[in-house]
Amino acid sequence: MTTAAAEPAAPPDPLQQHFDDTIARDHRVEPRDWMPEGYRRTLVRQIAQHAHSEIIGMQPEGDWITRAPSLRRKAILFAKVQDEAGHGLYLYSAAETLGADRADLTRRLIEGRQKYSSIFNYPADTFADVGVIGWFVDGAAICNQVPLCRSSYGPYARAMVRVCKEESFHQRQGYELLLTMMRGTEGQRAMVQNAVDRWWWPSLMMFGPPDGDSPNSAQSTAWKIKRHSNDELRQRFVDMTVPQAERLGVTLPDPELRWNEERGSHDFGTPDWTELQRVISGDGPRNAERVSRRRAAHEEGTWVREAAAAHAAKQAERREEAATSRSVACPR
């Protein structure tokens, strides 16, 4: 017997080892695999927040469906908002593969115990906002979501593939709407610029706090849930959007925005992080309204869910009775 230091290290837990190998080899983790509790918890939180964002995200634009200026725009907006509902459902479905309960997730949202993207707490004041939301918000969502198509958790990555395919329509319809308005009257052009001014900074905040201030990022990156840092994705979004703004003929409201030849990227100003904190913690322009509306929709739909369940139970009972009486009538 020598010193304690010479004792062999405890053998690695084979389950943990297998999980680590799966991640290291860039393979996907699937629902019934063993996974560390922290990995499961992080994913449920992230996927639930993502799902809630899609569902709450129906509200700012949904308000414009009845006021769309033409049947074409109305049909497009309808399809888009329906897609957001679909995206929310793909994501709830992925969260459920981790053992989350759907009714519980909804409860957490309407009780304010789980969050959603801060961006949806801003109002959509004019029809130009519909265009800018498609261009900026869905554009930022694409930057965030494309790398998530390679996320280490299989069902999340697959949901993201479906979402990204559809998101491209969302961004393009928004930009096309704005191009149309920019070809219109002076008033319409001013409306577009006004919407751009209001949505630019909140859109940059969608990528989350700066890297130095993002406590969960390192672990999520190690688990390959997250593939790029908040600041990297923000930069990508800025570089992508600047030439689109030029083509459209609008000014992005940032005096520090300029091309940096050396970096091959744009330099830009710092978003107001205290505003982000304020909106996340519940004090944004529309937080209370968004959640109370979701709650009302859920509560007012209770009787429908119960009636459908009662109908299904009755039908099942009848089928059973019919089967019993048949087997009595002709015994074998």
Partner 1 sequence: MPQMNNVQADWPLYEVFVRGKRGLNHVHVGSLHAADDRMALTHARDLYTRRNEGVSIWVVRSSEITASTPDEKDPFFAPSGDKVYRHPTFYDIPADVPHI
Binding site for partner 1 (CB under 8 A): 18, 30-34, 79, 82-83, 86, 89-90, 93-94, 96-97, 102-103, 155, 158-159, 162, 166, 302, 305-306, 308-317
Q: Kindly state the smallest distance separating residue 20's Cβ from partner 1, in Å.
A: 13
Q: Which is nearer to partner 1, 159 or 248 (CB)?
A: 159
Enclosing H/E stretch for 302 = helix 302-329
Q: Which amino acid is at 7?
A: E
b (16+ CB within 10 A) / e for 294-307: bbeeeeeeeeeeee
Distance CA(278)–CA(280), nearest Å, equals 6
Q: Kindly state the smallest distance separating residue 195's Cβ from partner 1, in Å.
A: 28
b (16+ CB within 10 A) / e for 228-255: bbbbebbbbbbbebbebbeebebebebe
Q: Which is nearer to partner 1, 46 or 230 (CB)?
A: 46
Phi then psi dihedrals of residue 267, to 5 deg: -85, 150
Q: Are strands 265-267 and 258-260 parallel, antiparallel or unpaired?
A: antiparallel
Q: Kindly state the smallest distance separating residue 305's Cβ from partner 1, in Å.
A: 6
Q: Kindly state the smallest distance separating residue 95's Cβ from partner 1, in Å.
A: 11
Q: Kindly state the smallest distance separating residue 272's Cβ from partner 1, in Å.
A: 38
Q: Which is nearer to partner 1, 87 or 226 (CB)?
A: 87
Q: Which is nearer to partner 1, 82 or 270 (CB)?
A: 82
Is there a contact between 159 and 93 (Cβ–Cβ < 8 Å)? Answer: yes
| Cα dihedral value 121, 148, 80, 282, nearest 10 | -10
DSSP type of residue 120: G
Q: Kindly state the smallest distance separating residue 141's Cβ from partner 1, in Å.
A: 18
210: exposed, middle or buried (Cβ count in 10 Å: 0-12, 13-18, 19+): middle
Distance CA(76)–CA(92), nearest Å, equals 25
Q: Which is nearer to partner 1, 89 or 245 (CB)?
A: 89
Q: Kindly state the smallest distance separating residue 315's Cβ from partner 1, in Å.
A: 7
Q: Kindly state the smallest distance separating residue 165's Cβ from partner 1, in Å.
A: 8
Distance CA(65)–CA(87), nearest Å, equals 19
Q: Which is nearer to partner 1, 218 or 323 (CB)?
A: 323
Distance CA(304)–CA(323), nearest Å, equals 29
Q: Which two tokens stand for residue 54?
A: 């899609």
Q: Which is nearer to partner 1, 158 or 295 (CB)?
A: 158
Q: Which is nearer to partner 1, 32 or 72 (CB)?
A: 32
